[in-house]
Structure 1
C-alpha cells in the first residue's frame, strides 16, 4: 500500500476531514497520512482508540513515535494524557490501550535501527524559550539526534517564521492556525515538505501551537528499505 508516498512532493492533509478506517483490532481506527507497506509499514497515521479498547502485545521492530492529541493513552509503562510525547525505540514492546479513549499522531519505522532511547514527556508541564531567530515565536525542544529534531513551536498572533528544511519537515497543527503558501492550516492539519525546501508560515489572529519534526526525510529511502526487509 502506498499513500502520499512521493516524498519529493509538498503535501497538506486536513486530517479531521478524513474518514476513519477500521484497523485489524476492534475499537482502533485510523486516518492514514502517509504509508509505504501493508500492516508492517513506514507510516504516519492519526489513530483513534475507542473507550475500553486495546491492542494486542507487540514488538516495535522499527520503533514507534507518537504524540497524544486527545484523551489518555495507556500501556504497562503508564498513563499518557493529551500532550504526551513518546518515543518507543526499535525492539521495544508494549500492550497499548485506552480506558477513556484517545486520539494520537503515530509514526512507525522512522527510527535509526541502533536507537534504543526511550522518551516519555508530558509537554503540558514543559516550558518554552524564545526562538533565537523569530520575533513572537517560542520553542519547546522534545528530541534531537544526528539526523532529526522534534519540537513544539508556539506562535503569538501574526508571528512569522521562514525556515529552510534541507532534511525535509513535517508539522501537525495542535492549536490555532497558520498560513503556509496558499494553504491555511488549522487544528490537526498536517504538512510535509520535501528535502531542500522551505517553510514560510504566518500565524493567525489567535496564534498557533505546532508539533514539528525536521531532518528525518533525508533517511526515508533507508526507512522504506528496512520495512521491505523486515
Structure 2
C-alpha cells in the first residue's frame, strides 16, 4: 500500500463471477479466489440474481446505474449500502444495474448498517470554492470515512495530504492532479503520507474513502 495505484476500468474486460449473469472488473484484489479483499465494478444483467450470502468483513455498495435489489428493497442509481459483519441478503436486478463494490474492508463488531439514497441529499459546500460533499459513512471507533465529492467545472482543491491514505473512484466527469488525469471509471489509491492538488476542468463526481488503507 506504499505506492500510488491507478486502474482505469474502461480499459478492462468484464470477467465472469460465480453467477453466470453477473460480471465484474476487479480493481483491487488480495486473498483467496472468492474470499479475498476486493474492490470492483460489478454488472448485473437484466434478470440476474445471486444466492443468499453473508458479509464477512463487510460489504459496501454504491449503485452507479440501474436498480439493484434484494429482499429488503430496491436501490436506484446513487444508493449507498454498507452491510457489516452478521448481515446477509439475496441480491438481484430486474432490469440490470452497475455497482461499485468493496468486500471485506469494513470488519469489526458494532458497525452500523447503512442504507441511503444519496440523490435525496443536498450537496454541502466545503471550504474549497467549487467543491461540494455528501457524507456516506463515518462512525466513531473506526478510521474509514466515505463521502461523495462534486467538483464544479474549473474547481481546484488546495494542496492537501492523506496521512492515512485515500481511495477515489471517478463516478462521472474527470479529475487530474500532479500524477495524471483520471476519467470516469478510474480507481485511484493514494498511499498513507501522500499529498496532491486535485482539479477538474469540466466537473466531476467522486466516491472518496479516507483512512484504513494501511490495514487492507
Partner of residue 25 from structure 1, selected from 13, 19, 23:
19
The number of residue pairs the alignment matches comes to 212
| CA distances 1:141-187 after superposition (whole Å, capped 9, x unpaired) | 11113301111111111111133111111111111111122421111
Q: Which runs of 5+ in 1 are unaligned?
A: 1-6, 221-230
The equivalent position to 1:126 in structure 2, one of 118, 121, 125, is: 121
Which residue in 1 is equivalent to 2:129? 135
Deviations 1:67-89 (A, max 9, x none): 01111100011000111111001
Q: Which residue in the other structure is 1:75 paired with?
A: 70
Give RMSD over aligned pairs.
1.1
- 2:141 pairs with 1:148: no
- Of 202, 212, 219, which residue of structure 1 is paired with 2:215? 219
Q: Does 1:59 align with 2:54?
A: yes
SS in 2 for 1:152: strand
| Corresponding residue SS for 1:16 | helix
In the alignment, the residues of structure 1 paired with residue 196 and residue 145 of structure 2 have an alpha-carbon distance, to the nearest angstrom, of: 15
User: Residue in 2 aligned with 1:101?
Assistant: 96
Contact in 1 for aligned 2:131/2:149 (Cα 8 Å): yes
The runs of at least 4 aligned residues of structure 1 exceeding 6 Å deviation read none
* Secondary structure of the corresponding residue to residue 217 of structure 1: coil
Which of residues 163, 170, 183 is equivalent to 2:160? 163
Counterpart-to-counterpart distance in 1, 2:182 and 2:111 = 34
TM-score w.r.t. length of structure 2: 0.94
Alignment CA distance shift 1:199-1:90 (3 Å): farther
Q: 1:195 maps to what in 2?
A: 192
Q: Secondary structure in 2 aligned to 1:67?
A: strand
Counterpart contact for 2:135–2:148, Cα < 8 Å: yes
Of 9, 22, 46, which aligns to 2:3?
9
Q: Distance in 2 between matches of 1:116 and 1:152?
A: 20
1:3 corresponding residue in structure 2: none
TM-score w.r.t. length of structure 1: 0.89
Give SS of 2:122's match. coil
Unmatched 5+ stretches in structure 2: none
What SS class does the counterpart of residue 160 from structure 1 fall into? coil
Structure with the larger helix share: 1
